[in-house]
């Protein structure tokens, strides 16, 4: 159980304060980040990029004896129909072999420098397949498999995975509620030894009690493979058509514990321990979905406890015993 270093503001002091607060109630840590495409395209080495981007925080995590998960997000995390904004701005694409080579070098540097226990080579692959142009998805499949082969040749000890978007698998984001499964993802990414789950059920369900008990287990389709929630949660505020509050978010904690137990999940990583300050992300394009994610924290932007913190602490205490 654990979180990432996302904080209301990205200055080092705030980030360290946030890590210190949640590491008392977690035994794992998550990086969820994209390759710094702009710098890498400009000639920065993968090693230098990883040392600047991750090494300091990784040392903090190691010092706290936290299990480390890394999810490398290749496309636009807020718009799965698009490639990463830095690639778009540079008029480049992951469909180019040269860009794929940069990604593979970056993956190798993450594995060698950070030495994560688990390494995710792509995020929300089923949603990218649904939303992005086919050549982009095909390129993602190719580069992730090539990177996995690189890791195997390098005798990496990191356990490889990709994540799938759960609401998409159930047909919820599409509005069809037709269960689609994720068998294509198992076929296209045969190297995975664990299945990462991205789940934001408040996009679809009005109350946590409505979530099926096999919400995660069904995706495994009988496989004896560990699953792990590597991003997600339930918002504590109403945004647009989503109606929620702190009590719903708190109820989601106990509901999620049951669903994860049914799926024999080995990790619960909600990504955000704190609420987010949208200003820290800079100007957003019209129609940005960022507001839907800013109230996922178990504490607010001032690090004051919300109702969901108590059930999380209780569940973590049970796990530790």
pLDDT in tens, 130-156: 999 999 999 999 999 999 999 999 999
Rounded Cα–Cα distance for residues 220 and 212 (Å): 15
Cβ-Cβ contacts under 8 Å for 60 (sequence gap 6 or more): 16, 19
Q: What is the pLDDT of residue 319?
A: 61
pLDDT in tens, 245-278: 999 999 999 999 999 999 999 999 999 999 998 8
Would the pLDDT of 105 be above 80?
Answer: yes
pLDDT surpasses 60 at 320: no
State pLDDT tens for residues 40-67: 999 999 999 999 999 999 999 999 999 9
Give the pLDDT of residue 321.
52
Q: What is the mean pLDDT of residues 188-198?
A: 98
- Tell me the C-alpha to C-alpha distance, in Å, between residue 252 and each of 47, 78, 172, 232, 298: 40, 23, 18, 11, 12
Residue 229 has pLDDT above 80, yes or no: yes
pLDDT at residue 109 is higher than 70: yes
Entry pTM: 0.95
- What pLDDT is recorded for position 292? 87
Residue 179 contacts residue 171 (beta carbons within 8 Å): yes
Q: Reply yes or no on whether the pLDDT at 242 is more than 80.
A: yes
* Whether the predicted pLDDT of 165 surpasses 80: yes
Instruction: Confirm or reject CATH 3.40.50.300 for domain 2-320, answering yes or no.
Output: no
pLDDT digits 0-9 by tens, 210-219: 999 999 999 9
pLDDT band at 317 (very low <50, low <70, confident <90, very high): confident
Kindly state the average pLDDT of the residues 23-38: 96
> Region 150-171: what's the mean pLDDT?
97
**Each residue's pLDDT tens digit, 72-93:** 999 999 899 999 999 999 999 9
The secondary structure of 280-320, three-state, reads HHCCCCCCCCHHHHCCCCCECCCCCECCCHHHHHHHHHHHH
What is the per-residue pLDDT for 280?
79
Kindly report the average pLDDT of the chain as a whole number.
95
User: Residue 227 has what pLDDT?
Assistant: 97
DSSP per residue, 126-151: HHHHHHS-HHHHHHHHHHHHHHHHHH
pLDDT at 20 over 60: yes
Annotated domain spans of the chain: 2-320
Residue 38 host element (H or E): helix 37-41
| The predicted structure's pLDDT at residue 173 | 84
What is the rounded CA–CA span in Å between residue 75 and residue 125? 10
The pLDDT confidence band at residue 304, using thresholds 50, 70 and 90, is very high
Percent of the chain scored above 90 by pLDDT? 88
DSSP state of 113: I
102-116: average pLDDT: 98
Give the Cα separation of 113 and 110 in Å (integer). Answer: 5
Gap between the Cα atoms of 19 and 61, Å rounded? 9
Q: How far apart are CA 129 and CA 136, in angstroms?
A: 8
Q: What is the pLDDT of residue 283?
A: 80
């Amino acid at each position: 159980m654990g979180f990432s270093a996302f904080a209301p503001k990205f200055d080092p002091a705030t980030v360290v304060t946030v890590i210190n607060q949640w590491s008392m109630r977690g035994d794992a840590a998550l990086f969820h980040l994209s390759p710094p495409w702009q710098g890498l395209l400009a000639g920065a080495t993968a090693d230098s990029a990883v040392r600047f981007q991750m090494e300091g925080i990784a040392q903090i995590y190691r010092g706290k004896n936290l299990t480390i998960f890394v999810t490398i997000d290749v496309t636009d995390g807020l718009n799965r129909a698009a490639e990463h904004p830095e690639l778009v701005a540079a008029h480049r694409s992951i469909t180019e072999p040269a860009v794929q080579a940069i990604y593979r070098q970056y993956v190798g540097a993450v594995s060698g420098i950070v030495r994560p226990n688990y390494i995710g080579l792509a995020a929300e692959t089923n949603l990218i397949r649904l939303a992005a142009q086919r050549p982009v998805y095909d390129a993602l499949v190719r580069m992730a498999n090539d990177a996995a082969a690189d890791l195997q040749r390098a005798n990496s000890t990191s356990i490889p995975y990709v994540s799938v978007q759960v609401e998409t698998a159930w047909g919820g984001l599409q509005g069809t509620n037709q269960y689609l499964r994720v068998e294509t993802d198992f076929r296209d990414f045969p190297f995975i030894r664990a299945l990462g789950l991205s789940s934001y059920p408040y996009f679809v369900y009005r109350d946590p009690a409505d979530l099926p008990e096999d919400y995660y287990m069904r995706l495994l389709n009988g496989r004896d493979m560990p699953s792990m929630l590597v991003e997600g949660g339930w918002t504590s505020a109403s945004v647009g058509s989503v109606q929620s509050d702190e009590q719903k978010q708190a109820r989601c904690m106990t509901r999620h514990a049951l669903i994860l137990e049914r799926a024999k999940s080995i990790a619960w990583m909600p990504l955000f321990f704190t609420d987010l300050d949208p200003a820290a992300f800079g100007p957003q394009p019209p129609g940005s979905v960022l507001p839907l994610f800013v109230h996922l924290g178990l504490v607010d932007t001032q690090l004051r406890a919300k109702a969901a913190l108590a059930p999380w602490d209780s569940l973590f205490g049970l796990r530790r015993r």
